[in-house]
Amino acid sequence: MSIELNRGDYENEIKHSEIPVLVDFWGPQCRPCLALMPSVERLENDYRDRIKVFKVDVTRNRMLCAKLRVMSVPTFIIYKGGAEQKRLVGEDITENDIRNAIDAILG
């Protein structure tokens, strides 16, 4: 199960990770977000030890979302070496879209 991040630990977890990081920005009222949760859990299992997966509840972390310019959900951001590498936004995101983005980052 993904770890929930907040404003206080977000930067530390991203900057100090030795492996790429996938962050799932979601909201409890967002149906596409909720529909993707099983896919995110599958990806977390499939890429275990090669990526870290975190979640950010946008309703509880508005300041962080504003800072990162996360304007809609679902949004997925992939980081490598502490820097943003890929951002996926929109309700039409699929598990394959996320998987392809991860594979591209992992090389």
Range of the domain at 99: 3-106
- Choose, from 5, 23, 33, 98, the residue flagged as catalytic: 33
**CATH at 67:** 3.40.30.10
CA pair distance 54, 73, nearest whole angstrom: 15
- Choose, from 10, 30, 37, 39, the residue flagged as catalytic: 30
Q: What is the pLDDT of residue 38?
A: 97
**For residue 1, is pLDDT > 80?**
no
The number of distinct structural domains making up the chain is 1
pLDDT average, residue stretch 57-86: 97
Positive/negative CA dihedral, 40, 44, 47, 51: positive
**Do residues 87 and 76 make contact, with C-beta atoms less than 8 angstroms apart?**
yes
Q: What is the pLDDT of residue 2?
A: 81
CA pair distance 64, 54, nearest whole angstrom: 14
What rounded mean pLDDT belongs to the chain? 96
Q: What is the DSSP letter of 72?
A: S
| 65 has catalytic annotation | no
Query: Cα angle at 29 between 44 and 27, to 5 degrees?
Result: 45
Closest to 98 in 3D by CA, of 23, 31, 35: 23
Q: pLDDT (tens digit, 9 = 90+) per residue, 12-57? A: 999 999 999 999 999 999 999 999 999 999 999 999 999 999 999 9
